[in-house]
Amino acid sequence: MSNRRVFEALNWASSFLEENQREAYAAEILLRHYMKMSRAEFLTRLREELPEEIDQLFSKAILTHITGEPIQYIMGYEEFYGRKFKVNKEVLIPRPETEELVLATLERIRARWQDDTGLKVADVGTGSGAIAITLKRENPQLDCFGTDLYPASLEVAKGNGAYLDADINWIVGDLLQPFINSGVKLDVVISNPPYIPTADRSWMSEIVTEHEPNRALFAGEDGLDIYRRLVNELPYVLNEQALVGFEVGAGQGELVANLLKGALPQAQVEVVFDINGKDRMVFAEISS
């Protein structure tokens, strides 16, 4: 019996995924992963026979994804800002919206500081390290910290930092406590904290709720628990001239902006919308 052709395996998997309420496009991403091909190359090889060992790996991955396992955990990585970040069950999978937070932060740093050499930047709740590492790689002048309460998450971040050649100060600790305790002052604080209200769990995809770390997703009844703690700690760590940037859930922009205004009355606070028109970021800027 001859092997399946590439397009036959793809068609089978796409249909099978849709029948099981999964996204059909995951089939192409997984098949390209096992064939180690760019999309352009993949599309020229659709009529070729699929080697049996690749077909077996691919079929097994599709069956695993049907159970709810995210494809990023199956492959072991996710792309973020043009780089591959290793991910596992200890960290949240980086999302495209967070790329917008990084881009907006880099632009604001450029606009606010004529000389950004040695600016101290903390990515609080770093998870996979995607924000801290990307900021450092895009602007090597920055002195970047990545903090996380969970050592297992920080191990993933450290591995990504080494793999992507980014020199980051990794710290195990609760939010801004490590900086408060050591007396270190920060110029920039960035965070994509857990912000989903607990009740939202009931209608969310089990791909997210059953497989990604819940500690990185949920934050109390209104989803604002971590922001409340963060803004209370900010005055103890910020320099006289500073920038704060948070990613927020849709509909939380004004609420988080008000928390920041309360904690930092001298700051200019702005809610920024993402490319999908959702309030996705809140920035506070303090001038000396």
Q: Given CATH 3.40.50.150, say whether it is the number of domain 90-286.
A: yes
In this prediction, the residues of the chain whose per-residue pLDDT falls under 50 are 203
Q: Can you tell me whether residue 205 is helix, strand or coil?
A: coil
- Helix (H) or strand (E) segment spanning residue 34: helix 25-35
Task: Name 38's Cβ contacts closer than 8 Å, sequence gap at least 6.
Answer: 32
Question: What is the pLDDT at residue 129?
Answer: 96
Q: Six-digit token pair at 153? A: 């998450």
Flag whether 220 is marked binding.
Answer: no
**Rounded distance between C-alpha atoms, residue 130 and residue 117, angstroms:** 21
- The reply to whether 94 sits in an annotated binding site is no
Domain segments of the chain as ranges: 6-67, 90-286
Residue 126 annotated as part of some ligand binding site: yes
Separation between Cα atoms, residue 245 and residue 101, nearest integer Å = 8
Give SS3 for 33. Answer: helix
Which tokens in the block code for residue 88? 């596992």
Annotated binding-site residue? 148: yes
Give the closest residue to 171 by CA, choosing from 215, 131, 125: 125
* CA–CA dist 70, 18 (Å, integer): 15
Residue 173 annotated as binding site:
no
pLDDT at 199: 58
Asked if residue 262 belongs to a known ligand binding site, the reply is no
Parallel, antiparallel, or unpaired: how do β-strands 186-191 and 120-124 relate?
parallel
Give the residues across from 83 on adjacent strands: 80
| 18 Ramachandran zone, left/alpha/beta (phi>0; psi -120 to 50) | alpha
Which residues fall within 8 angstroms of residue 272, CB to CB, at 6 or more apart? 104, 279, 280, 281, 282, 283
Determine whether the annotation assigns residue 251 to a binding site. Answer: no
Q: What is the pTM of this model?
A: 0.89
Does the annotation flag 129 for ligand binding? Answer: yes
Q: How is residue 187 annotated by DSSP?
A: E
pLDDT of residue 51: 94
Please state the φ and ψ torsions of residue 100, each to the nearest 5 degrees: -65, -35
Query: How far apart, in whole angstroms, are the C-alpha atoms of residue 214 and residue 227?
Result: 17
